[in-house]
Structure 1
Amino acid sequence: MRKAAVLVAGGKGTRMGGPISKQYLPIGGKPILMHTLEVFYKVDPETELILVIPELDFDYWNELVETFGFKILHQVVAGGNSRFQSVKNGLNAITFQEGLVAIHDGVRPFVKPSVIESSFEEAERSGSGIAVISLKDSIRKLTDDGKSFYQERQYFRLVQTPQTFQLEKIRKAFRVTEIPQFTDDATVYEHQGWQVSLIPGNPENIKITTPEDMDYAEFLLSLKK
């Protein structure tokens, strides 16, 4: 079955506090996005890679590709005004009609290859494969009147990416009008009345967002040496 990966990095990364969007910042000597593309390529070199970034960043990304001698084949697609629109643009750019697609945050370069493989396997079997991890801390639910209530954490999961789907089904799901309840790709899929299937993610698969995350990312890379 043919496979694609849509790597979404359409944001401006304002929480990083610098002039360069977070997805282009270097860790381990090269931009974050290159690390993420490499993981998916190593899992299966035949995977069709779609990178979704702001259209205004195309020239800058091409400069980075040339500067770092980045050779992995990928298609660059313009992002939209929201993550929903960016993912939709990426899905529309896939060149085949039947197969599987992993949708992944471009700034999550530490996803384990085994998680990617499991997500594809589950999506082929059941329609979807969503990476999640268990909570370690206690949690409480806040109410509008300022009160809080204990919640049993074993009934909750933190959602990561990849979120992998059968291509025909997720394309159909993204044909609807965007609504605020679409917080990720799984919620778009669920809107069709389909149940998502969960797979174990990996805790170090962080979404790099803040300067502190950059420090942790360098630490994680140092463990691989």
Structure 2
Amino acid sequence: MQETASVVIVAAGASRRMGRDKLWLPLAGRIILAHTIDAFQLSPLISNIVLVTSTERLADARALCQEEQWHKVSAVVVGGSRRQDSVCIGLDTLAPKTRWVMIHDGARPFVTPTIIEAGLQAAQQHMAAVAAVPVKDTIKQVQDGVIHATLDRSQLWAIQTPQVFSFP
């Protein structure tokens, strides 16, 4: 039988660059965060979901989870001031017997069953794994406004989520 994982969905950010809370924007008839949680709720490889949100959205997030009847969401908690603090709070909320954990960005609603499965399998083989895509842009190394090198994009990857790892 395939081992399962728990997932911490980090959704506590302020969306400062966007100017408004992107997690609660509509996408194909539902909010972005709902699409994200659905992906993990529907996966047979996920046994438990912890949602980390902002203080301002705590009541909204809890109401959403109840409305959607996501039975895998075991906790909705307030995150910290930085992403790493929110991740730590999410990990501290997990059950002590959790063997495999995924950290996923709530603003990434297009995670697929294939990505979830491949991430878990890779982590089980290597103890950790991360989703990534090859860089398509030309990347320049710049210092003091002067280009010093054009990096070889065939060796560059953009790291995404989920990030998967063994959790003691």
**TM-score by shorter chain over 0.5:** yes
Q: 1:6 aligns with which of 5, 8, 17?
A: 8
Segments of structure 2 that go 5 or more residues without pairing to the other structure are none
Q: Which whole-Å CA distance do the structure 1 matches of 2:108 and 2:4 have between them?
A: 23
1:169-208 CA deviation, whole Å, 9 max, x = no partner? Answer: xxxxxxxxxxxxxxxxxxxxxxxxxxxxxxxxxxxxxxxx
Name the residue aligned to 1:77: 77
Q: Secondary structure at the match of 1:56?
A: coil
- Superposition map of 1:1-225 within 5 A: 1-18=3-20, 21-44=21-44, 46-65=46-65, 69-73=67-71, 74=73, 75-144=75-144, 146-168=146-168
Q: 1:27 to 1:130 in 2, by over 3 A?
A: same
Q: Which whole-Å CA distance do the structure 1 matches of 2:89 and 2:35 have between them?
A: 22
Once the two structures are aligned, what percentage of the paired residues are identical?
32
Q: How many residues align?
A: 164
The amino acid that maps onto 1:89 is: I
8 Å CA contact 2:62, 2:76 repeated in 1: no
The amino acid that maps onto 2:109 is: P
Q: Which whole-Å CA distance do the structure 2 matches of 1:98 and 1:23 have between them?
A: 27
Segments of structure 1 that go 5 or more residues without pairing to the other structure are 169-225
The answer to which structure has the higher helix fraction is 1
Q: What's the C-alpha RMSD, in Å, of the aligned pairs?
A: 1.8
The answer to which structure has the higher strand fraction is 2
Q: Which whole-Å CA distance do the structure 2 matches of 1:162 and 1:121 have between them?
A: 13
Q: Secondary structure at the match of 2:52?
A: strand
1:138-190 CA deviation, whole Å, 9 max, x = no partner? Answer: 2221123523311111111111100000012xxxxxxxxxxxxxxxxxxxxxx
Name the residue aligned to 1:180: none
Q: Which whole-Å CA distance do the structure 1 matches of 2:114 and 2:122 have between them?
A: 12
TM-score (structure 2 length as normaliser):
0.89
Q: Which whole-Å CA distance do the structure 2 matches of 1:135 and 1:115 have between them?
A: 18
Q: Following superposition, which runs of at least 4 residues in structure 1 exceed 3 angstroms of deviation?
A: 62-66
The amino acid that maps onto 2:133 is: I
The amino acid that maps onto 1:161 is: T
8 Å CA contact 1:135, 1:153 repeated in 2: yes
1:30-77 CA deviation, whole Å, 9 max, x = no partner? Answer: 2211111110122227520011001232112234446xx311121201
The amino acid that maps onto 1:56 is: E
